[in-house]
Every structure is written in C-alpha cells, then in structure tokens.
Amino acid sequence: MKRITLSLVLILALAGAAWALAGHEKVAEGPTRTVSMSMSDYTFNGTNPTLHVTPGERVKFVVTNDERSRVLHNFRIVGMDVPCERELLPGEKREVTVTIPKSGEFAYTCCTHPGMGGKLVVDAR
Ligand SMILES: [Cu+2]
C-alpha cells in the first residue's frame, strides 16, 4: 500500500512538472510585439526608419508589399535568421517572428533593391 501511495505521489509530481514546463514554453513562443511595415515607392514605411527593439523580446514583423504597380520586393534581416525568401507580389505579405538577441545592430533590407532598408538597433535594458 505504501508503495502504491509513493508511486502515485511521484506520478503526480511528474505530471505537475510537465504541465508547468508546457505552460512556460507556450508563453515564450508568442510574440510580444508586432511591427508592421509597408513596402512602397521602394522604401519601408516611406522613410526606411531605424527600428528599436529590446533584448530578449519576441517581435513579429509583418511586411506587406503595397506597391501600386507590379514591383516585387523581398524581406530579410541581416545577421538574424531571416533570409531572403520568395519575392512578394503587390498585396502579398510575409510574417516573421524572431527573438531579439542581447545586443547588436542589424539591418532589415529588401533583397532585390539595394538601398531599400534600414537599421534594427537593440537597445540596452
Ligand atoms: Cu524591393
């Protein structure tokens, strides 16, 4: 009887730990902030602004090709794991979620058009 009680306690403890771990993982996966960018007139948001981000935060970039004529754009972040992908047609968008590293300065660019893009700066906490 004692053995069964001990096993039961152990099983409950393991289940509790697994539940807690799963819960924490779920929180870490969700983006904390969405940054929307419009690609038009060969720029991001008209002025290729410098973007400021916080160490460790999860950022979802939503990048939309808003050109009125048939101009294709492509999005990447140099130095982060966000490479060029298929070019976006007008009206198409790409969503990328990244975890911001502790420090650094990165660049978001259009792979197709040199000069189209800006800085992504990680600000100290
Ligand atoms: Cu472009």
Residue range 67-125, pLDDT digits in tens: 999 999 999 999 999 999 999 999 999 999 999 999 999 999 999 999 999 999 999 87
Does residue 96 sit in helix, strand or coil? strand
Q: How far, in Å, CA of 58 to CA of 56, rounded?
A: 7
Residue range of the domain that includes 11? 1-30
Distance 86 CA to ligand 1 centre (A): 12
**Residue 25: pLDDT band with limits 50, 70, 90:** very low
Residue 24 in this model has a pLDDT that exceeds 50: no
Tens digit of each residue's pLDDT (9 = 90 or more) over 47-73 = 999 999 999 999 999 999 999 999 999
| Residue 51 sits in the same domain as residue 80 | yes
| Residue 23 sits in the same domain as residue 45 | no
Distance 116 CA to ligand 1 centre (A): 6
Distance 113 CA to ligand 1 centre (A): 4
| Residue 56 sits in the same domain as residue 10 | no
| Residue 20 sits in the same domain as residue 49 | no
Q: Could you tell me which residues are beta bridge partners of residue 59?
A: 33, 98
| Residue 16 sits in the same domain as residue 61 | no
Amino acid at 41: D
CATH number for the domain harbouring residue 52: 2.60.40.420
